[in-house]
Amino acid sequence: MTTSSRNSIVRRMVPFALIAGTAIVTTAAVANLGKTTSAYSPIPIRVPSDAIVGQEIAILTDAPSVPAPITRDHATKVIVNLDIVEKKMRLADGVEYTMWTFGGSVPGKFIRVREGDLVELHLKNESSSTMPHNIDLHAVTGPGGGAKTSLTMPGQESIFTFTAMNPGLFVYHCATSPVPMHMANGMYGMILVEPKEGLAKVDREYYVMQSEFYTKGDFGAKGVQELDMDKGVDEKPTYVVFNGSVDALTGDKALKAKAGDRVRIFIGDAGPNLTSSFHVIGEVFDNVYVEGGTVAQHNVQTTLIPAGGSSIVEFGVENPGDLILVDHSIFRAFNKGTLGMIKVEGAENKKVFAAVKGLGVSGE
């Protein structure tokens, strides 16, 4: 057989070989369809099964404070009292905004419960409110995350219960129509469902939440500002801030730590539109529980947090100095307000970092 004849036969066989190979792969795929392999986790149908022992009133905190870790080893009934308050609050120096709040603060109160707890949530809407409100907790398995049963008129109260079945860090927010308006006016917060085994011990825990404000006036325009819905629809915020206002985490309000501390930040992104690129200048995250779940990434520089999502970041602080919290979509940090600080005190360790020469070096 000549060389040209062999090449001709090979060319004719190639399509058949490809078809046969595809058939083998397809057959194997069909054979494995629906089977659980080690690469995937089974999907549980969760049924509350923990015995509920006693009851307690939840201790709620304003950002950046966090309630103390849960030390009990059993599930209990946790009563959460959350008041809706509409009031003028500082957005920036010389700038006020009528915030709609959970508990009188933006972000709303931090709620901390344990996996398996039965939560009884009391939502009260102050009589001075101008709107009905409700609450959608992303930790809730139920209609609207609780929103469907919690629509509360001014001066009224709604109550519902749910079992905290999934551990993690979850956003809650108002879901009354128009939802974007209620969220853009400050109606959001976070709830932590601690796993039954608890979280690793740290020296400091902080609550930080990023959000946007869409005002009719430009950034820094003085006076009482109102919501600009057109800016919201166009996703062009006037302000992007941590904890409800510009400079909420700077100066005297900066977070604090000491060299040698282990720090945990519960960080959320209320949106209502933008994804956060959360970064701490001068640190590397040792652990990042991505999107507030139970799986950790390690040695992370910047973590993405979707609107309506969260993350838990942990890191050891090795040296004194100022650590800067930013959304690394960096114009937001330096021109719209997502800038915060952790002031770290303690003894300097030049093995960790040492300035040798430059404009910032003493004696130069």
What's the pLDDT at 364?
52
What element of type H or E holds 27? Answer: helix 3-32
Consecutive sets of 10 residues in the chain, 364 residues long: mean pLDDT of each? 46 40 38 50 90 98 98 98 98 98 98 98 98 98 96 98 98 98 98 97 98 98 98 98 98 98 98 98 98 97 98 98 98 98 96 90 63
The percent of residues above 70 in pLDDT, for the chain, comes to 88
**Cα R_g (the chain), whole angstroms:** 26
The pair of structure tokens assigned to 294 is 């139970």
Encode pLDDT of 30-75 as tens digits: 344 444 445 688 999 999 989 999 999 999 999 999 999 999 999 9
DSSP assignment of 201-254 equals P-SEEEEEEEEEE-BSSPTT--EEE-B-HHHHHTT--SEEEETTSTTTBSGGG-
